[in-house]
Amino acid sequence: MVLPLEMGWRHLLFENWPVDAEALEPHLPDELAVDTHDGSGWLSVIPFTNVAVRPRGVPARAGIRLPEINVRTYVTRDGSDGEPAVYFFSLDADGIASVLGARWFHHLPYYYARISLERSDDGGIRFESRRRHPGSRPGAYEATYRATGDPFAAPEDPLAEFLVERYRFYTEAPDGSLRYTDVDHPPWTLYPATATVERNTLLAANAFERPSTEPVRYYSPGLDVVAATSQRCDAN
């Protein structure tokens, strides 16, 4: 059995668009339903870096750094007490071994990419990603983002809470079974964020049209996380 993982998530931009739930449903496993807020489904692109990724109990200094960007939406599943969860359409990361491990052990749709994340002296984050995974659709993202305004606790804002306070994600295994992984972390502290996005082809790579509305953006300096092992869902 694969051990639970500990890691830190750092310098995150949550870039979120309201979309029609009907546009998301064909992309989900049959057992999952789109979770909505104010009548809309939501599609998110989230660049950040993982730090000190290692099996639980191993010292942080032995962990690895793994820059990443993911495309996700928000779901629920009948028979799971309505537990709000995440479903990933793609996750691009800069680490071949880590990508292969996540695909094999957690059945996540990871893709190998060349990624750089740099922090400037004025607090801005420069993020660049270009997919290099053999046989995959091309996907790229280039942006500079930063926090603006005052910090706030995500649970104090209904939309922010909906988008970030998620403690489970679902995946589909190669045999078609649905699986889940629970994650544990403190509540998020967020800032309003601004971003200059020069390139984003990750939505198109996942067969989504780019929404016409401006996204809702949040920044977080990050927090520490424990991810449990992947579990097969019981039949409903």
Condensed to tens digits (0 to 9), the pLDDT of residues 182-211 reads 999 999 999 999 999 999 999 999 999 989
Report H helices in the chain.
21-24, 96-105, 158-164, 202-205
Total number of domains in the chain: 1
- pLDDT above 90: residue 155: yes
Q: Contact at 8 Å (CB) between 169 and 183?
A: yes
Residue 102 to residues 14, 105, 131, 155, 198: CA-CA distances in angstroms? 22, 5, 16, 29, 29
Q: Which domain holds residue 193?
A: 5-232
Condensed to tens digits (0 to 9), the pLDDT of residues 13-27 reads 999 999 999 999 999
Q: CA nearest 226: which of 71, 56, 79, 32? A: 56
Average pLDDT, the chain: 94
Condensed to tens digits (0 to 9), the pLDDT of residues 123-150 reads 899 999 999 999 889 999 999 999 999 9
CA distance linking residue 10 with residue 87, whole number of Å? 20
Residues 6+ apart with CB under 8 A from 75: 28, 32, 33, 34, 35, 84, 85, 86, 87, 170
- pLDDT above 50: residue 1: no
Residues 6+ apart with CB under 8 A from 106: 2, 171, 179, 181, 230
Amino acid found at 101: G
Please give the backbone phi and psi of residue 55, each rounded to the nearest 5 degrees, phi first.
-60, 150
Please give the backbone phi and psi of residue 174, each rounded to the nearest 5 degrees, phi first.
-55, -25
The CATH number given to whatever domain includes residue 187 is 2.40.400.10
pTM of this prediction?
0.95
Residue 48 burial (CB < 10 Å; 0-12/13-18/19+)? buried
Tokens at 179, concatenated: 């699986």
